[in-house]
Amino acid sequence: MNFKTSDGVTLEFSSVGEGIPIIFIAGYSGHEYSWSAQTDFLSQSGFRCLHLDKRGHGKNADVISGLRISRQAKDIKEMVDLLGLESYHIISHSMGCGVAFEYISLFGDRDVKSVTFIDSSPKPINTPDWHLGMYGLTWQTITEANTTLASLSLIKKKIDTDLLRKMMRGNQVFKFEQTEPLLLDLLTKDYRDVLKQTTRPILFISGELSPLFPTQLTTYYVETAQHAQSFLAKGAGHLPYAESPDETNHVLLSFLQENGC
């Protein structure tokens, strides 16, 4: 399926299953198939799984205009309006968490049943008064971030071969240089105020051995948000939903069922 955005580009999206909608927002270089384990499990558990690849990603890799976090959030809002969704959950990972924060900042959380953030900081850049950003990221190192991410191993546990095969469906070479403006835009954001103001239930999932973010964020989310809980995936890296899919799926399902299933 596809739709034309308010700035005149055509974006592809997919819908799997029937039931209460879940909008999935993948991380940097991720796409709809990154969520294969969750789509298979949750679509069989009474949910409708919606995937809109970001501009410059997946099925929308050729769309190179609007490489800003605010435009990504606007794209999701236009998909929501197109489908006439009255309420929905959001599950996001890494850069996708930034898009989710931006979405709530711009459009509010009235229609949002819950938000799941996976291994991401509300403020990626470290400053003298903030040390829960991405490891090694400061204003002095920000221009090196894309090169670092392109060469960094993000996983600590082997992903099941069958799942990895599903995640690689439709895979193509990701253009790091082309999408760098989107990454740099994200890394300068500070959504700590949005986290404090969000009224909907929040689940924060972290990988115990994440190479990008400190596990102390699990405590920060719970102590900062109005209604938040956390889950630490033992032995997992930056992709706990793929490295520990069964455990993560059951945590997700329990959380979703508690909050408006």
For the chain, the structural domain boundaries read 2-258
The answer to whether residues 207 and 179 touch, using CB atoms and an 8 Å cutoff, is no
Is pLDDT of 170 > 70?
no
The answer to whether residues 163 and 245 touch, using CB atoms and an 8 Å cutoff, is yes
| pLDDT band for position 148 (cuts 50, 70, 90) | confident
The residue assigned the tokens 């889950």 is: 231
| pLDDT band for position 11 (cuts 50, 70, 90) | very high
**What digits encode the pLDDT tens for the residues 22-59?**
999 999 999 999 999 999 999 999 999 999 999 999 99
- d(CA 75, CA 201) in angstroms, rounded, equals 23
What is the mean predicted confidence (pLDDT) over 161-170?
91
Q: Which amino acid is at 38?
A: Q
What is the mean predicted confidence (pLDDT) over 115-142?
97
Radius of gyration of the chain (CA): 17
**What digits encode the pLDDT tens for the residues 63-114?**
999 999 999 999 999 999 999 999 999 999 999 999 999 999 999 999 999 9
Is pLDDT of 172 > 80?
no
Q: Does the pTM of the predicted model rise above 0.85?
A: yes
Q: Which amino acid is at 228?
A: A
Could you please state the CATH topology (level 3) that the domain comprising 2-258 is classified under: Rossmann fold (3.40.50)
Is pLDDT of 261 > 60?
no
Output the pLDDT for position 174: 87
Name, in order, each residue with C-beta under 8 angstroms of 209's C-beta and a sequence gap of 6 or more: 156, 235, 236, 237
**What digits encode the pLDDT tens for the residues 212-221?**
999 999 999 9
- d(CA 37, CA 16) in angstroms, rounded, equals 13
